[in-house]
Structure 1
Amino acid sequence: MPHLIDISIRVRTFVAFGLVLLVTIGLGSFALVQIAVVDRAANDLGGKAMPALFQSSEMLNAVINFRREEANRLLSVTPEDGRYREGLMDKYAMKAVDVRKTYQPNSAEEKTAIAQFDSTWPEYQKSTISVVDALKAGDNAAARKYYVGENRNQFDALNLTLAKIVELNERAGRQSYDLVNAATDRARLGVIVALVVATCIALAAGMVTVLTTASPIRRLTGVMAQLSGNDLQVTIPDADRRDEIGAMARAVGIFKSGLIEADRLAAVQRADEAEKTRRVGMIDALVSDFDARSSDALASFGAAATQLDSTAQSMSALAKESAQQTNIAATAAASTTTNVQSVESAAEAMATSIADINSQVGYAKEIADRASDDIRRTSTTVVGLTQATQKIGEIVTLIQAIAAQTNLLALNATIEAARAGDVGKGFAVVAAEVKGLANQTAEATDEIATQIAAVQKVSGETSSAIQGIGTTIEELNAISTRIAGAMDQQGASTHDISRNVKQAAAGTREMADTMVHVTRAAGESGTASAQVLQAASDLSRRSKSLQSQVATFLTAIKTA
């Protein structure tokens, strides 16, 4: 059994049904040979032995009837009766001569016996003429002397010769009958042995199919059900086999690896999303802090503007503090830009991984498609095997027709034997045996037809099993398609993430540029603080403008 799993299902199927087919062909050939033997024996019996037996019996009856009418002629008391008896004698003599002309001896002993008949019959005819002539002359004493003398001896010799010929023909008929019986026994034994062998092969083929094909498929089906339930710890059985089952198991292993990789990527994506959320929260915190600090600075600038006349030095110090806070905000914006760029790189790497997974899923789908094509070709081969068994059924039908014809010939022979009366009884028995043999042959061919039907049934079951395999492969293909669809969705989501991160990066770069401008404005504010006494009104205006710009900046940051 371990070696069988290294052979493909198609080869195992061909071998099993090939063996059954060979046994069936051998059974049919053996039946044909035995039918030919029976046919030859029946031909010998019906074409040689029985006709010879009938003809020899007719000659014997004709000679006996001739002798009886000769005795009646001897006892005739009137001329009319004498002429009537002589006419019957001529009739029986002509009958014996006519039958002799058509009689053909079949053996050397028959030829010797018929030669004796040919030499004795004319002499017997001559002595009979002497008896009749004596009776016509009125010499009854001389006629009786001829009748009980030489004439009787010649009749006895003819009677013994014809009886021997009849016995030889009966012996030949019995030999033909024995041949028919022997052929029948051989045919019966051969059919029984062939049926037993065919049954054993069919059972063995069915058992091998169940153990090497059906059971592994059930195991793979159970594994696939566990995988569909997200049980990724299940072990893939039969992956080391070298047949189609092994290929299916390895394909399921690829699907399992794909599911494991998909779970890993999903976990990575969840971690990336958590990190993104954390960084966005950090940016929000920085913006809030910047908002608070900017609000404080602007409030300080407003207070300084109202008290400009008396607190110029305090406003200068406040300008320096504003510059420091602006530098801190610029540093935070640069850090945010760096972090967003890292998120962008991770999103691009995840998109590349998802594209690679899509490629692997496509390869697995291609393997499933090739397996489906192999299953369709195997199904076509099983259909061809079914057609071959149908042709064998046609041959069996021909054998049944031959048996029916033999039965008809036996029936005709029985009718002819019945017409022959007591002489044909032996032939009637033989004809009945031939008819029984024909019936047995018909029964044997019916049994062959039954076995062929069993082969066709096994072919149908094998075809159904192959269709089940095809259905399983189609389910695998559907799973691959669903995985591919899921990967496409993941890819689309990843592209969306990458696009959003790029937009966030652009926003952080804009924020950094704005912070540069703010820093520059803070410097200008420090320079302007030296001229605060001369430009109090201008400082108040600039303070309001700065407040408006900061509010716009914060709004843009929150929107981004």
Structure 2
Amino acid sequence: MDRILGRMTITIKSALLIVIMAVVALIIAVLSYDGLMVSERHGETMRNASERATYGERANGLVMSVVSDSRGIYMSADSAKAEKFAVTLMAALDKLGETMAAWERAVPEAQRADFVPVMAKAQEFIAFRSELVRLGRTEGPAAARAYGDNDANRANRKAFNDQLEKLAVQNAAAVEAGVDAMRDFHDGRLLLLLGVAAAGILLGLAAAGFVAIAGIGRPLGRISGAMETIAAGTDDVTVPGTDRRDEVGVMARALEVLRGAQATARRLGEERERAQVERLKRAEALERRIQGFDREVVSILSEVDKAIRHLQDTASTMSGLADDLRGRAGSSAAAAEETSANVQTVAAAAEEMAGTLREISNQVVRSTDVAAKASAQAEGADQTIQSLAEAAGRIGDIVRLIEDIAGQTNLLALNATIEAARAGEAGKGFAVVAGEVKSLAGQTGKATADIAAQISAIQAATERSVEAFRAIGGTIDNINEISTTIASAVEEQTAATGEIARNVQQAAVGSQEVSTTVSQVNRAADDTGTAARSLAQATDLLSAQAGRLRHDIDAFLTDMRNQSLSAA
């Protein structure tokens, strides 16, 4: 048993006691619940018996009311006076029927057979009294009295009352028996609960006492003895209970550790004395290493200091170069911007010149077209005038026939008018002559001499017109040649202007690239200056850190010497 208790912690032991008490409480709860259910069943039985007793008393009262109202009908002088008794009697019969039906539903299944004759008597009583009321209403109180006021009816009513009384006695006996049974059950169940509670309390106390003595007190006593022995300085004692798994085992193992630590401390004290001599030797060797390390660190820090100064000089030089590069880049940027502006101006002028040349070329083309049209028209007019000269020569030969062909003169004048319209501006003079011809055609009969003179004038004017139109044709040809020359020159100039515009555009792109490159150089100069300043700051920080490193190394070496002396 002690081994079993040694495997359980105090928590488990306490939980075991709690479980025992919980089991006892559960048993008590189950018994109490069962008693409650049994009491509920007894109570239901008693309530049912009491309800049936109530129905019996109510049925007896209704029977007495029906009998009283029946006598009222008997004693009434006529049907009208008997009606008030008939109404109350029928209401009582209805309530009696409802009461008997409810009573029947409340009767237990085992007693239904005994209740069947009672229900039969009740139905017979209700039917008989209903017929009595019918006779009193229809035939009069005398007929009702003759039907109901007799010994047979009274015997029937008495038998019904006897059955009701019998049931009432049975219900009263059932209620009393239920009360006695419930009282006996409660008394027995109370004794059982008290016994279980007492047994549970005794069992819990016994278990608690056993656990406290065998599982806690006795093992602690043995550990206490071992603890006193160890406290006295004895290490070769066996600590009891180290194999236990409870808190006592934890204490025993802790005491075993303490015993081992005490033995180890004594052994270490002996070893400490031997190690003291070795420590002094190591301290001397450490001092020698510290001195050598100090010399090495001083040499390294000197080299670091030289490198820092060199970095500072380099950073200063880089900063100066960056400033100079930034200035030169600024000048280059200004020049590049000015060049870009000039190139843009030239490009705009070249574009404008190209537009002007394109417009001149268009005008020259249109002038050439107009000159070609004018040349064609001049050739047409020349041919017309040649025809007119020939016609004028023939007119001189046929003057004598003018009178005969006066009718045809109008047709000739019409043709001359059409030819003048074709000649355009050059044919205006010929149109005047045609008009005169029309007029002369109307005056043919007046004077042929005048016609001859006019013909001479026409011939002279015709010769001059021919010469003028030939001169106009030559001028138009010259205009065509000049227009062709101008068109060729304009095309060459347009091509040259386009080439200039392309070259200017390339120059603009180049100047823009120069400006971009100068901006990049300027940014690079700024980055170089920033890097130089960062390098200067880094060298200053490195110099400060080197100083702190020297200070920390000196402090470290001093601490090492002090620790070495302390250890010694």
Q: TM-score range by the shorter chain?
A: 0.3 to 0.5
TM-score normalised to structure 1 length: 0.42
TM-score, reference length from structure 2: 0.41
Considering only CA atoms, is the larger Rg found in Structure 1 or Structure 2? 2
